[in-house]
């Protein structure tokens, strides 16, 4: 994409964002938030209908769903602690004996218990949006804040949503809108906060980092401070018995023409029993122009070797692939000196 096309694309998305902001300002959010407080239903389908039947726009319908969940569902910190603080990506719902979709089963469970971790919040939101006819996606990634303060590793630990409103994708985090924890006691305090409703991508990126870079909704995703000490561990990192990796820092400095050598140590025998992923199925991240995939060069003695040759300064992210799963992401800091010398000859 040339510079003129990029400029036109940026202008287009800015105009779309301005349109949504203008529409948001014309919507009476307070009235919607108040109206949904008294709504009850026995199934997700019934709930979605009751929440959205009186509203005409996607913004209103999305707000009604967001406000109901945030005001009726509490964060299940006890369940999170029982899972040893590993992540909130599983609600513990048994799907083996049901023909219903995972979203439907999780939504029913959350509605019944009135508690959830982020996985349950996001799937309930997705389920209700589906019934309301509002396009919605579930996003996995890393988030920092009160809900994740016990986390010590830079890895996938959170789930949120992207929703398509008026032909433009926007980001929401209904988990963080539902309340907060008190320090010391870990008591969950219900408090509706709409800061993370259709939040602008630059603000959302301050504390959310998705597995799929495209879901930052930014042309150039920012470097967050955690990259200084470690590469980003994607959701599939925990799938394998990875004991160490090199480089240990998350930012790699290099020049065009340099060869970057990387290593991952893992239990190869055990990993052969684990089914791999499919990069072809990862349509979003696969199309992100500044992200490069790096597949193993060799596997021996439980060491997986990688080699990546820097060819252009446009490559901003280096993603290590293992068993067709993306496991690690590094930030590339590419210097142009070598290229300038070559061009000067």
The reported pLDDT for the residue numbered 25 is 52
> Do 80 and 209 sit in the same domain of this protein?
yes
Average pLDDT over residues 11-25: 49
> Do 22 and 55 sit in the same domain of this protein?
yes
Residue 291 counted as domain residue: yes
Retrieve residue 12's tokens. 């287009």
Here the CATH number for the domain that contains residue 268 is 2.60.40
Helix (H, G, I), strand (E, B) or coil at 241: coil
Summarised one tens digit per residue, pLDDT across range 139-181 is 999 998 655 444 457 899 999 999 999 889 999 999 999 988 7
Helix or strand run (H / E) with residue 111: helix 102-113
Distances (CA, A) of 168 to 6, 159, 172, 217, 249: 17, 20, 13, 10, 35
CA distance 11 to 26: 23
The CB density around residue 98, as the number of other CB atoms within 10 Å, is 12
Domain around 300: 226-344
> Do 46 and 154 sit in the same domain of this protein?
yes
Residue 205 counted as domain residue: yes
Here the CATH number for the domain that contains residue 37 is 3.10.620
For 143, list phi and psi in degrees, rounded to 5: -140, 145
Summarised one tens digit per residue, pLDDT across range 271-289 is 766 666 544 434 334 456 6
Q: Of 222, 243, 260, at which residue does a domain stop?
A: 222
Summarised one tens digit per residue, pLDDT across range 89-135 is 555 555 555 567 889 999 999 999 999 999 999 999 999 999 999 99
Residue 33 counted as domain residue: yes
> Do 172 and 97 sit in the same domain of this protein?
yes
> Do 151 and 91 sit in the same domain of this protein?
yes
Residue 300 counted as domain residue: yes
> Do 96 and 172 sit in the same domain of this protein?
yes
Q: Of 161, 190, 222, at which residue does a domain stop?
A: 222
Residue 3 counted as domain residue: no
Distances (CA, A) of 298 to 247, 305, 307, 343: 17, 5, 10, 34
Q: Of 206, 222, 238, at which residue does a domain stop?
A: 222
The CB density around residue 155, as the number of other CB atoms within 10 Å, is 20
Residue 5 counted as domain residue: no
Burial status of residue 313 (CB atoms within 10 A of its CB: 0-12, 13-18, 19 or more):
middle
Q: Provide the strand spans (E) within the chain.
A: 74-75, 115-116, 136-143, 158-165, 168-172, 179-181, 188-190, 197-199, 208-210, 232-233, 242-246, 251-255, 259-266, 291-294, 298-300, 303-309, 317-322, 325-335
> Do 285 and 206 sit in the same domain of this protein?
no
288 touches 319 (CB < 8 A):
no
DSSP class of 133: T
Closest CA to 89 of 148, 45, 48: 148
The number of distinct structural domains making up the chain is 2
> Do 37 and 138 sit in the same domain of this protein?
yes
For 132, list phi and psi in degrees, rounded to 5: -85, -5
> Do 241 and 147 sit in the same domain of this protein?
no
CA distance 320 to 246: 11
Q: In the predicted model, is pLDDT for residue 46 greater than 90?
A: yes
> Do 337 and 202 sit in the same domain of this protein?
no
Prediction pTM value: 0.80
> Do 22 and 141 sit in the same domain of this protein?
yes
Instruction: Tell me whether the omega of the peptide bond preceding residue 207 falls within 30 degrees of 0, making it cis.
Output: no
The better pLDDT of the pair 178, 270 is held by 178
CA distance 259 to 302: 22
Of 12-16, 126-130, 226-230, the range with the lowest mean pLDDT is 12-16
The reported pLDDT for the residue numbered 267 is 83
Helix (H, G, I), strand (E, B) or coil at 12: helix
Residue 1 counted as domain residue: no
The reported pLDDT for the residue numbered 335 is 83
> Do 217 and 269 sit in the same domain of this protein?
no
């Amino acid at each position: 994409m040339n510079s003129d096309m990029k400029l036109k694309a940026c202008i287009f998305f800015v105009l779309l964002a301005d349109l949504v902001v203008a529409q948001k300002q014309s919507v009476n959010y307070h009235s919607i938030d108040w109206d949904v407080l008294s709504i009850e239903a026995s199934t997700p389908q019934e709930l979605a209908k009751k929440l959205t039947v009186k509203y005409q726009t996607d913004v209103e319908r999305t707000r009604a769903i967001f406000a109901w969940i945030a005001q009726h569902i509490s964060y299940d910190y006890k369940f999170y602690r029982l899972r040893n603080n590993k992540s909130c990506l599983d609600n513990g719902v048994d799907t083996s004996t049901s023909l219903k979709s995972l979203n439907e089963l999780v939504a029913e469970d959350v509605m019944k218990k009135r508690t959830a971790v982020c996985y349950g919040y996001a799937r309930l939101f997705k389920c209700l949006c589906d019934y309301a006819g509002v396009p919605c996606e579930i996003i996995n990634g890393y988030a920092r804040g009160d809900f994740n303060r016990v986390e010590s590793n830079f890895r996938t630990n959170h789930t949120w949503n992207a929703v398509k409103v008026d032909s433009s994708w926007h980001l929401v985090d209904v988990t963080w809108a539902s309340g907060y924890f008190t320090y010391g006691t870990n008591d969950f305090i219900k408090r509706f906060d709409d800061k993370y409703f259709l939040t602008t991508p630059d603000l959302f990126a301050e504390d959310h980092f998705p597995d799929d870079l495209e879901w930052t909704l930014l042309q150039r995703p920012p470097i967050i401070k955690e990259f200084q000490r470690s590469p980003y561990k994607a959701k599939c990192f925990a799938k394998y018995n990875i004991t160490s990796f090199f480089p240990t820092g998350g930012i790699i400095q290099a020049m065009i023409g340099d060869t970057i050598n990387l290593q991952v140590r893992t239990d190869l025998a055990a990993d052969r029993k684990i089914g791999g992923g499919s990069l072809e199925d990862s349509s979003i991240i696969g199309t992100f122009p500044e992200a490069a995939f790096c597949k193993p060069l060799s596997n021996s003695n439980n060491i997986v070797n990688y080699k990546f040759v820097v060819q252009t300064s446009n490559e901003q992210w280096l993603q290590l692939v293992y068993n067709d799963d993306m496991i690690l992401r590094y930030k590339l800091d590419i210097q142009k000196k070598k290229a300038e010398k070559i061009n000067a000859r």
